[in-house]
Structure 1
């Protein structure tokens, strides 16, 4: 071969690399991985190297692994706890269950072992003890305690994997939560308010204590607080409270039932289980 031909061969460029082989920007690679990652995953770019560090909230899909394989050395991943959206539960919010009518949350409380609970009406929990409860589609946990009839109170255990966060607040002013700082028993003539998912915040006076009610379905419940605050179906379990004037609320009870007359009717009556009784029965206290 002549030296001229050899020189020509030496200067012929090598074939171009396939279009997909060029390294993509870290942000683009992260977006591609995020689209294939299981729910609850986190992905970040290591600033020093541009490498993608991923913590997966579940088993990696074949699509995710394919992206990793297509970019060797650029992705490091591991399994971890899934990240979930957090939603605050407040007294008076609506809670749902597959076997029971919609009810209202009473108040978030805690046991001595640190477990957290949502107290509500017993007739809400009774139809399906152990069934799961939800807040706006987000898991709260199972209803594990109920006392009905005789009493009318129960409690939901906030599951370890629930996205619901608990704090002793209830809806008293608009949609924001106001903190409950203590619990107490009411006295006759006291002006109190109730928060419920259907009628919202309504107020009235305490008419009587230690009242026995026979519900239209035949169940008898004892030891109730009678007030003139308006309530309706779906409000059951909602909190009864007092505002001393500084928005540092005092919780008094949870709604059992009422005569369901229109709000504003002078004959309106609603009935509540004393909260102190519920706390004593289940060994609960306010969350600090």
Structure 2
């Protein structure tokens, strides 16, 4: 039987997961294949005023420190999140023994509020907001050791006061947010009936079934899924997204038996060809990351936070998201975020309303977005992400 090929990210972001990077597969030792840093380096060079060679060296040093942190996590060292301060990787710990283990590997250990502490603080802030629709998002900020509460510009004084009354919470204004499925003809992940998203990461269940991890709101109604040519490639089978209710934005698509999920990301012309997927992880805050999307192509930025809670237009509160300075628009939902170490990071969930990213703008697009970490979705559904 002839198999059709389903490419990752082609043309098309109540979970309390730790920010430690859990690798699902080891990078191969063979000659290096294309990596997202081939394009990220150019933008980093422009941003920092250095040569492309120097930028690649910076990215390599950060990748080396990320691998060291991954190894510490696998070895059971008790850490509670990590972030980059320039090229330095700062690891949050709550014991002297963990600090010694971290510093013995050349990383910086910090005693303070870790991811679990900030998650608890965010829950307190959410309770203080009392379900107000003017609360846009709650973001645990490891670097600032605080939770940022974003509210709409016309939010009430009572809401602002209630949030400021929670020690460790800062209040900022933000535009409203929306999930980013859109009704645009000709997209590669066409949902029947009528809307579209972007393909995420394929994998297999414990029974060997071929599936695709995607944003839950893309498959909320368990739609049939077609490619750009109108060919049936799968069907939504699971979603934790519930419109108008507290939710988690992860979902699952069953890939048709005659189709094959491929372990690479189509960069939409942002790179020469595709970039392979070596595994899935949660890279440290401050790591560089790019995504392929149906509407905006290849856009890049840095991871800002994990376990973010947002309120999308329509009254749906979504928790367990990551936030990144990656530009997205409607139609990008479900699209594949990948780190410069070639590890899958997540699938587009949503972003601010009214943003214009352009196409294949890389770092130059600006703005920010939220994505569902792939590790959390894979763990929940019992999926092993396909790797090169």
Task: Indicate the TM-score class for this superposition, using the shorter chain for normalisation.
Answer: 0.5 to 0.7
- Partner Cα separation in structure 1 for residue 192 and residue 6 of structure 2: 21
Is 1:258 the counterpart of 2:355? The answer is: no
The structure with the larger Rg is 1
Partner residue, 1:204? 301
Is 1:237 the counterpart of 2:237? The answer is: no
Structure 2, unaligned runs of 5 or more? 12-187, 358-363
The structure-2 alpha-carbon separation of the partners of 1:97 and 1:175, relative to structure 1 and needing over 3 Å to count, comes to farther
Deviations 1:167-220 (A, max 9, x none): 211113447332101111132211111111110110011222211110011101
Please tell me whether the aligned partners of residues 100 and 125 of structure 1 are also in contact (alpha carbons under 8 angstroms).
no
- Partner Cα separation in structure 2 for residue 265 and residue 112 of structure 1: 39
Partner residue, 1:189? 286
Cα distance, 1:165 vs structure 2:
1.9
More strand by share: 1
Partner residue, 1:135? 227
Please tell me whether the aligned partners of residues 194 and 203 of structure 1 are also in contact (alpha carbons under 8 angstroms).
yes
- Partner Cα separation in structure 2 for residue 284 and residue 100 of structure 1: 28
3-state secondary structure, aligned to 1:186: coil
Partner residue, 1:219? 316
Partner residue, 2:262? 167
3-state secondary structure, aligned to 2:333: coil
The structure-2 alpha-carbon separation of the partners of 1:144 and 1:114, relative to structure 1 and needing over 3 Å to count, comes to same
More helix by share: 2
Q: Residue 276 of structure 1: which of 375, 380, 388 is its match?
A: 375
Partner residue, 1:31? none
Structure 1, unaligned runs of 5 or more? 1-82
Is 1:107 the counterpart of 2:215? The answer is: no
**Bigger relative contact order (CA 8 A; separation at least 6):** 2
3-state secondary structure, aligned to 2:284: coil
The structure-2 alpha-carbon separation of the partners of 1:85 and 1:112, relative to structure 1 and needing over 3 Å to count, comes to closer
Tell me the matched-pair count: 197
- Partner Cα separation in structure 2 for residue 195 and residue 265 of structure 1: 13
3-state secondary structure, aligned to 2:321: strand
- Partner Cα separation in structure 2 for residue 168 and residue 275 of structure 1: 14
- Partner Cα separation in structure 2 for residue 237 and residue 265 of structure 1: 19
The structure-2 alpha-carbon separation of the partners of 1:175 and 1:151, relative to structure 1 and needing over 3 Å to count, comes to farther
The structure-2 alpha-carbon separation of the partners of 1:226 and 1:86, relative to structure 1 and needing over 3 Å to count, comes to same
Cα distance, 1:90 vs structure 2:
2.2
